C-alpha cells in the first residue's frame, strides 16, 4: 500500500509540475525577409502617395456626351495608414453638369470620398476597402478602382467605365512642403 501511495504521489507531483510549465511554441518561428524598400516597391508607392495634394484638373467622360471639364478646387489627403480622403468643390455650373453625368454630389455641392485603400502595384490601382458602406453609383463609385500614374509631383487618378474606357481623370499636384 505504501508503494502504491508513493506511486500516486509521484504521478500527482509530475502532473502538477507539468501543468505549471509555460507552453512553448511547437515549431520554430518562420524567419521573414526584410521589408521591400526602394523604387518600385509597395513601401515606396505608399510613401509617395502620403501627404496632401491639390486638384490641378478634373475631367469626366459621360458616355455619348462631350467631356465635362470641372472648374473648382479640391484636396486629397493620403495618410501612412492607407486612408484616402478626397474632396472636390466644383463651381455651380460644374455641379449641374456633373449631376447630369451621374456623379453623386452632396447637398453642399461637393464630391467627397474617404476610406481605407489598397494599393495594387501590378495593376497600378488604388481601391477603396468597403466595410459596411455602400459603394455608390456612377463614374466615381467607390467600388471602381482608381488607376494611378505619377510624373514627378503630379498624380493622375483615372476611373474607368465598364468597358475599360476612362470615365474620369483627375490630376493632383503634391502640396508644397509635402514629402515624396
Per-residue pLDDT reduced to its tens digit, 35-81: 566 677 888 888 889 999 999 999 999 888 889 899 999 999 999 99
* pLDDT tier for residue 25 given thresholds of 50, 70 and 90: low
Report long-range pairs for 137-144 (Cβ below 8 Å, ≥24 apart).
137/102, 137/104, 138/101, 138/102, 138/103, 138/104, 139/60, 139/61, 139/62, 139/101, 139/102, 139/103, 139/167, 139/168, 140/103, 140/104, 140/111, 140/113, 140/167, 140/168, 142/113, 142/115
b/e string for 20-57 if b means 16 or more Cβ within 10 A?
A: eeeeeeeeeeeeeeeeeeeeeeeeebbebbbbbbebee
Q: Which three cell numbers, joined as nine digits, stand for 67? A: 467631356
pLDDT tens string 127-164: 888 777 777 778 888 888 999 999 999 999 999 998 99
Q: What is the pLDDT of residue 37?
A: 63
* pLDDT tier for residue 94 given thresholds of 50, 70 and 90: confident
pLDDT mean across residues, the chain: 81
Q: What is the pLDDT of residue 79?
A: 93
pLDDT at 171 over 60: yes
* pLDDT tier for residue 166 given thresholds of 50, 70 and 90: very high
Report how far residue 37's alpha carbon sits from residue 8's, in angstroms, rounded to the nearest whole number: 61
Q: Is residue 113 within 8 Å of 142, Cβ to Cβ? A: yes
pLDDT tens string 103-135: 888 788 888 888 899 999 899 998 888 777 777
Is pTM beyond 0.75? Reply is no
Report how far residue 112's alpha carbon sits from residue 104's, in angstroms, rounded to the nearest whole number: 9
Q: What is the pLDDT of residue 55?
A: 96
* pLDDT tier for residue 87 given thresholds of 50, 70 and 90: very high
Report how far residue 45's alpha carbon sits from residue 63's, in angstroms, rounded to the nearest whole number: 32
Q: Is residue 173 within 8 Å of 52, Cβ to Cβ? A: no
pLDDT at 31 over 90: no
Amino acid at each position: 500500500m505504501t508503494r502504491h501511495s508513493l506511486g500516486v504521489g509521484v504521478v500527482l507531483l509530475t502532473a502538477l509540475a507539468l501543468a505549471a510549465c509555460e507552453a512553448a511554441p511547437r515549431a520554430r518561428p518562420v524567419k521573414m525577409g526584410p521589408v521591400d524598400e526602394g523604387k518600385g516597391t509597395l513601401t515606396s508607392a505608399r510613401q509617395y502617395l502620403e501627404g496632401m495634394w491639390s486638384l490641378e484638373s478634373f475631367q469626366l467622360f459621360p458616355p455619348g456626351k462631350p467631356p465635362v471639364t470641372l472648374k473648382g478646387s479640391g484636396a486629397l489627403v493620403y495618410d501612412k495608414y492607407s486612408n484616402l480622403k478626397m474632396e472636390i468643390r466644383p463651381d455651380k455650373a460644374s455641379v449641374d453638369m456633373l449631376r447630369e453625368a451621374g456623379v453623386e454630389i452632396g447637398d453642399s455641392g461637393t464630391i467627397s470620398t474617404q476610406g481605407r485603400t489598397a494599393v495594387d502595384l501590378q495593376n497600378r490601382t488604388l481601391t477603396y476597402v468597403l466595410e459596411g458602406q455602400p459603394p455608390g453609383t456612377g463614374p466615381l463609385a467607390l467600388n471602381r478602382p482608381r488607376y494611378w500614374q505619377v510624373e514627378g509631383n503630379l498624380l493622375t487618378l483615372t476611373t474607368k467605365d465598364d468597358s475599360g474606357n476612362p470615365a474620369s481623370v483627375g490630376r493632383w499636384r503634391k502640396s508644397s512642403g509635402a514629402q515624396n
